[in-house]
Amino acid sequence: MGLTLEDRTALITGGSRGIGRGIALELARLGANIVIDFHHNSEAADEVADLVRAMGRKCEAVQADVGDSRQADDLVARSVGITGSLDILVSNAGITRDALLARMTDEKWDEVLRTNLTGTFNVVRATSRQMLRQKSGRVVLISSIVGLTGNAGQANYAASKAGVIALAKTAAKELGSRGITVNVIAPGFVETDMTSSLDKGIISSYLANIPLRRPGTPDDIAKAVAFLVSEDASYITGQVLSVDGGLSA
């Protein structure tokens, strides 16, 4: 029979492009109803929503800035309103504002931490209230291998992604007694709009250090998420799964 998410409702933040888009489509393929959060690109969000509906699933695209706690609360409330429950949260919304440490501005630091870490906290907090009432739920937070290793020029991004890992481990301990699992996916170098703008030399250096000798795809991440939110992963919580082709090995 394989994995199935029939009759589940999943909220994916940052679900209009890249990794989030891949996750939304994979979970829909497995039977889940989908809510995708987007910040700016309504056209991309509507395209994903149309693809999900074409599979026969319910889908709503909601514009929300997850860094704002009120908007995050409203996003979760709207997600619950679709079917009366919220079974899956995938917190994927994230941004980069790269600069070397000595040149990192307050604005670049604050903006990345606000979206990547505070935004994740906001949606996890709001979702946990619903899942605690249900006494069930699956939460997957999208971090990055740089949250484990650090990366030159990304002090803000690496710190935010390390914070996501610590948040997940704490939430796993607090929520586990109610049947809620909380895990982390730490992607490596993945082909997305965000990475496509990198210098070809940087891309080549990444590929040279990946044992599998290829970049990851959104589908690679989505398959891992699908497993962690399924019943097959019901005894896995508080864990970090690096999906990176061996880059962090």
CB atoms within 10 A of CB 165: 18
User: Strand ranges (DSSP E) for 85-179?
Assistant: 88-91, 137-142
> Distance between CA atoms of 133 and 60, rounded to whole angstroms?
23
> Which position among 13, 79, 141, 157 bears the catalytic label?
157
235 is catalytic: no
Q: What's the DSSP call for residue 190?
A: B
List the Cα angle 115/119/125 in 5-degree steps. Answer: 170
- Distance from chain centroid for Cα 221: 10
Contacts made by residues 204-209, CB under 8 angstroms, sequence distance 24+: 206/247, 209/247
What are the residue numbers of the active site?
Answer: 157
